[in-house]
């Protein structure tokens, strides 16, 4: 089984010395430290990582669709790591400029985020591709995300959906699935507490320690999904 991952800068492995710095770690360093690579090592499976720095949810959804359209997925599993539900655009890593869909009403944005999740889920159901989804730093229950709209939607496709603190950022803060309220609430991945945990770099992205912790947390979910898929054949 091959794990194919789509997402933003979190699964991409981006690290910078500060949020404002134009300098970031090299592509080689990103590939080495990111949790996708580590999951492959832990589970001894092949991985492909199509995550991109600055990717918004429309781009993440498009990349997943484009991959399935152009590749045989008979032995592949998808992991989709959504970005902020308040980021319906792509950030150009060279100049920081936004492009794509933005400046739309909040209610329309809620519909858009639901559509993207349902679309990727429906695609994988149609093609019989095992799928898991999660979020880098934006807790779904705090953004009015509602996955009960369709009775046919299997919420087990979204890792620990409905549980508190179920994002990759929460893993790095050490509060995974705990009833914890951050002093500062934000839909972005900037500061939430006064002290930076030792799992995050100064740019509020997971560092090598953080990626290791994320991999160790997510690997059992992925292994279980793979086992269920093979047993159902």
- Look at residue 214 and tell me whether its pLDDT is greater than 80: yes
Nearest to 76 by CA among 14, 138, 124, 145: 124
Angle between helices 35-43 and 208-231 (to 10 degrees): 50
Q: Is 198 in contact with 164 (CB distance < 8 Å)?
A: no
Looking at residue 216, what is its pLDDT? 98
Please write the tens of the pLDDT for every residue from 107-166: 666 677 778 888 999 999 999 999 999 999 887 766 656 665 667 788 889 999 889 899
For 2-231, CATH gives 3.40.50.1110
Nearest to 130 by CA among 25, 21, 227: 227
Please write the tens of the pLDDT for every residue from 40-97: 999 999 999 999 888 888 889 999 999 999 998 999 999 999 988 766 656 665 555 6
Q: Is 161 in contact with 140 (CB distance < 8 Å)?
A: yes
pTM for this entry: 0.88
C-alpha 181: how far from chain center: 21
Confidence of residue 206 (pLDDT cuts 50, 70, 90): very high
Task: Work out the percent of the chain whose per-residue pLDDT is above 90.
Answer: 49
C-alpha 192: how far from chain center: 19
Confidence of residue 103 (pLDDT cuts 50, 70, 90): low
Looking at residue 18, what is its pLDDT? 67
Looking at residue 231, what is its pLDDT? 80
3 state DSSP class of 5: strand
Q: Is 70 in contact with 64 (CB distance < 8 Å)?
A: no
Distance from C-alpha of 43 to C-alpha of 222, rounded to nearest angstrom: 9
**Sequence-ordered list of residues with C-beta below 8 angstroms from that of 45, at least 6 positions apart, any chain:** 1, 2, 3, 39, 226
Q: Do the bridges between strand 90-91 and strand 98-99 make them parallel or antiparallel, or are there none, so unpaired? A: antiparallel
Confidence of residue 208 (pLDDT cuts 50, 70, 90): very high
C-alpha 94: how far from chain center: 22
**Sequence-ordered list of residues with C-beta below 8 angstroms from that of 66, at least 6 positions apart, any chain:** none
Distance from C-alpha of 22 to C-alpha of 202, rounded to nearest angstrom: 13
């Amino acid at each position: 089984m091959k794990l194919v991952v789509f997402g933003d800068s979190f699964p991409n492995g981006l690290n910078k010395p500060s949020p404002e710095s134009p300098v970031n770690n090299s592509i080689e360093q990103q590939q080495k430290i990111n949790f996708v690579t580590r999951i492959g090592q832990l589970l001894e499976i092949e991985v492909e990582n199509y995550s991109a720095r600055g990717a918004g949810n429309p781009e993440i959804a498009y990349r997943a669709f484009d991959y399935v359209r152009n590749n045989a997925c008979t032995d592949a599993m998808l992991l989709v790591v959504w970005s902020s539900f308040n980021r319906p655009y792509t950030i150009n890593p060279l100049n920081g400029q936004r492009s794509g869909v933005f400046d739309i009403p909040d209610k329309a944005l809620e519909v858009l985020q639901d559509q993207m999740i349902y679309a990727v889920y429906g695609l994988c159901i149609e093609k019989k591709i095992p799928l898991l989804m999660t979020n880098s730093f934006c807790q779904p229950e705090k953004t009015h995300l509602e996955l009960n709209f369709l009775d046919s939607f299997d919420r087990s496709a979204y890792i620990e959906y409905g549980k508190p603190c179920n994002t990759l950022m929460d893993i790095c803060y050490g509060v995974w699935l705990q009833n914890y309220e951050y002093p500062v609430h934000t839909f972005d991945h900037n500061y939430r507490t006064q002290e930076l945990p030792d799992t995050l770099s100064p740019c509020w992205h997971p560092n090598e320690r953080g990626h290791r912790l994320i991999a160790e947390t997510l690997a059992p979910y992925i292994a279980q999904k793979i086992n269920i898929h093979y047993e159902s054949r």
